[in-house]
Structure 1
């Protein structure tokens, strides 16, 4: 009988999974496979928060497969070697997987294709599993990718999306294919206290509840730090427990300004993926160099330490960094503020900030994390690379009553209203009553340093 292998990567779901559907349509049996890839650990991407969320996702995927008569096969090691071994054990004819965009994903695909050809097995790589549109689906006439979001979004919006595909009703896994135990978050150390649960079941429940109750207010509220009106679906998009194609369809079905604003954010995600697909080195190198003379880690050590700990003396920045540590997640507006402060006010290399985010973020994604950091550092696709977000002005605009700051910086909880954003204005004994540091740098000083060093390297 014909047997296929489905290699799950960043697509840990059963609903709207074109690779899974194609494998099932062409075979009498299939092997759902996930490989705990040694190369991911060697590259330093096995952050505890993501490993815990991944364990939840794999357990939920296995549960969904078992409810349909199947099971998840888990292996560890070199991904190519493990896939080839499973192909041999199952006597498989085909391997199906989702297309990736990173340099590593491309190399993995090339290695796997070459190895499988030697075994007489075909590799099928499927687009629009991890993104709504394939990275090369829309391109300008003069380049292989869009470098500015607005024209990209205009073309993206006009492109028809494929229809979502239903989850399989039944799955048959051939006998004789062994599996390791499904991972568990139990016993993992270094987890954020408020880390969310992972898995397709959890993601679909969250999506349904958000579409029902909150999407209508998204346009007006998505920048409100204390209101927390964002979907919080980014971890599920990162691990692929939710399909971006399905999200766009369901948001458009809901309709209204809030849905339109949410779809725009999904397009931003696709935009970053198409940039990284065209320029894989943007994960580690400036997309557009500004000849920065970043402060060395040694010279900026104390400032970097204060930033990571949430002790910079700027309450909204500190609130953002403490939310990150507690939840393994951060409000998008807070991410922009934290990144602007590190790269432009403290003039620290964006790669240092990006690495710290990847160490903690459950949605830590190479395309979105690195390119958002570059956007804010002014080395990426931002058309205003010199923009600097003033943390005080931004705090007064997006946290006017100070609720977000008081939630995450409890030592300032007794300061009423907007006064919480400028504790350094307190005098004498009143100031001494608060165990909170003075600003690590004056904003005017940081701005002058940035402007003096940028483009003069």
Structure 2
């Protein structure tokens, strides 16, 4: 009786799961395995919000497998060691997993392949599981080009590529009975989570996608930047944990049709774009993709400004609202992310890595490809280094929160102040300003912009 192991990583679902379908087609029995990776914990990526969301995802995945006659096997430790141990216990002849993107994932896959080979076990890495199009599947013209560094030509090629067929969920999963498993984690046991953290799991992801396609996507193109409207899909945590297939999400959106669907699919492509950049340049997770030789500000004053940014008390209401949403929900509106990143890297001229790390400490959807490379895009050290992309928080607030409802929601001390003055409270007469318990701006915008432009002219 042939047995395979399916190693789950960032693909915690049963629908449209090529590794699981391939294992079931090739073998009589399958061991669905998830390893709580000690290396991830040591690197500081196992933060409360993602651990709580992960607990939901694993519980949901186990329930889905049990509904098909199977179960999820959980282990903790070094991934290669634990997979090899399960292979020996099950007498498995092959292991299936989704191909990784980050430098760590790629190295882990190489180590696992070598270790399994010594046990006479084959490793099958499947593409287009974590992303809609596999990194490396599309290459630009020109000698030596191993990835696209410009989004628009990537979008054209990505859009023209026929997607792989969406695979349905299996009807039955037969798991060996004698393979031991650890107790699954529970959200209730995770401390330090954001109070408004959303639930995880494939069931929740599919409900959210269906509701979004029915009642949200039609207005996405016009309203996705409206901070108060909250008109984005909120699917990013599910795409990060793989409880939702990006291939299926793109297909269902295209079936829905319309400008909103086109704009949403473009965002899925943007996600794939950064994944293929990171797959080709893993060092970009920590180093400038295109160095500008910045001498980021340091010292006590700079540290105090960064702390004010983290705590949502910069004196710029729309930036503070975004940072407070992040702390409360473990999630932030995309326009808010752009504003927050621009403010830290260009207005405060603080190292983008400081902001990226803070986001990773709180974001439930935080991963290296999307988080680090979007930060570099805003800092002007990524695939696009234009120095003039400096977002003025006052103008952005007036444009994307014209009624001040987003600010009122997250900065309640300004709730009695109507727009447009809510975006510039420092302009109020002193007597009126004293009624609001809100800090003065940590920096003057015109001085900050001049400082940044001078730094980029003379690095």
Shorter-normalised TM-score: what interval?
A: over 0.9
- Aligned-residue offset at 1:299: 4.4
Distance in 1 of aligned mates of 2:240 and 2:267: 14
Which residue in the other structure is 1:112 paired with? 112
TM-score by length of 1: 0.99
Distance in 1 of aligned mates of 2:163 and 2:299: 45
Distance in 1 of aligned mates of 2:34 and 2:311: 35
Write the mapping of 1:378-389 to structure 2, written as runs, cut at 5 A. Answer: 378-382=380-384, 384-389=386-391
Is 1:203 the counterpart of 2:200? The answer is no
Distance in 1 of aligned mates of 2:406 and 2:269: 28
Which residue in the other structure is 1:233 paired with? 235
Retained in 1: the 8 A contact 2:290–2:385?
A: no
Distance in 2 of aligned mates of 1:303 and 1:383: 24
Which residue in the other structure is 1:313 paired with? 315
Which residue in the other structure is 2:42 paired with? 42
Is 1:430 the counterpart of 2:432? The answer is yes
SS of equivalent to 2:32? strand
Write the mapping of 1:200-279 to structure 2, written as runs, cut at 5 A. Answer: 200-279=202-281
Out of 431, 436, 445, the position equivalent to 1:443 is 445
- Aligned-residue offset at 1:297: 5.6
Distance in 2 of aligned mates of 1:124 and 1:423: 58
Which residue in the other structure is 2:173 paired with? 171
- Aligned-residue offset at 1:456: 2.6
Retained in 2: the 8 A contact 1:148–1:383?
A: no
Residue by residue over 1:331-364, the C-alpha shift from the partner in whole angstroms, topping out at 9 and shown as x without a partner, is: 0000000000000000000000000000000000
Distance in 2 of aligned mates of 1:455 and 1:119: 57
Retained in 1: the 8 A contact 2:387–2:456?
A: no
Retained in 1: the 8 A contact 2:312–2:319?
A: yes
- Aligned-residue offset at 1:198: 0.2
Which residue in the other structure is 1:346 paired with? 348
- Aligned-residue offset at 1:419: 1.3
Instruction: Number of aligned residue pairs: give it.
Output: 457
- Aligned-residue offset at 1:383: 5.3
- Aligned-residue offset at 1:417: 2.2
TM-score by length of 2: 0.99
Q: Relative to structure 2, which stretch is displaced further, 173-182 or 382-391? A: 382-391
Retained in 2: the 8 A contact 1:10–1:240?
A: yes
Retained in 1: the 8 A contact 2:135–2:276?
A: yes
Residue by residue over 1:33-81, the C-alpha shift from the partner in whole angstroms, topping out at 9 and shown as x without a partner, is: 0000000001100110000000000000000000100000000000000
Distance in 2 of aligned mates of 1:407 and 1:40: 35
- Aligned-residue offset at 1:298: 4.1
Q: Relative to structure 2, which stretch is displaced further, 380-389 or 232-241? A: 380-389
Distance in 2 of aligned mates of 1:171 and 1:414: 58
Residue by residue over 1:100-128, the C-alpha shift from the partner in whole angstroms, topping out at 9 and shown as x without a partner, is: 11000010000000000000000000000
Retained in 2: the 8 A contact 1:291–1:455?
A: no
SS of equivalent to 1:75? strand
Structure 2: unaligned runs, 5 residues or longer? none
Distance in 1 of aligned mates of 2:358 and 2:185: 25
Distance in 1 of aligned mates of 2:10 and 2:434: 50
Pairwise CA RMSD of aligned residues? Answer: 0.8
- Aligned-residue offset at 1:221: 0.5
Retained in 2: the 8 A contact 1:204–1:242?
A: yes
Out of 346, 349, 362, the position equivalent to 2:364 is 362
SS of equivalent to 1:5? strand
Residue by residue over 1:373-430, the C-alpha shift from the partner in whole angstroms, topping out at 9 and shown as x without a partner, is: 0000000012524310000001100000100000000000000122110000111211
Distance in 1 of aligned mates of 2:369 and 2:124: 23
Residue by residue over 1:288-308, the C-alpha shift from the partner in whole angstroms, topping out at 9 and shown as x without a partner, is: 011101012644111011000
Which residue in the other structure is 1:27 paired with? 27
Residue by residue over 1:239-281, the C-alpha shift from the partner in whole angstroms, topping out at 9 and shown as x without a partner, is: 0000000011000000000000000000000000000011000
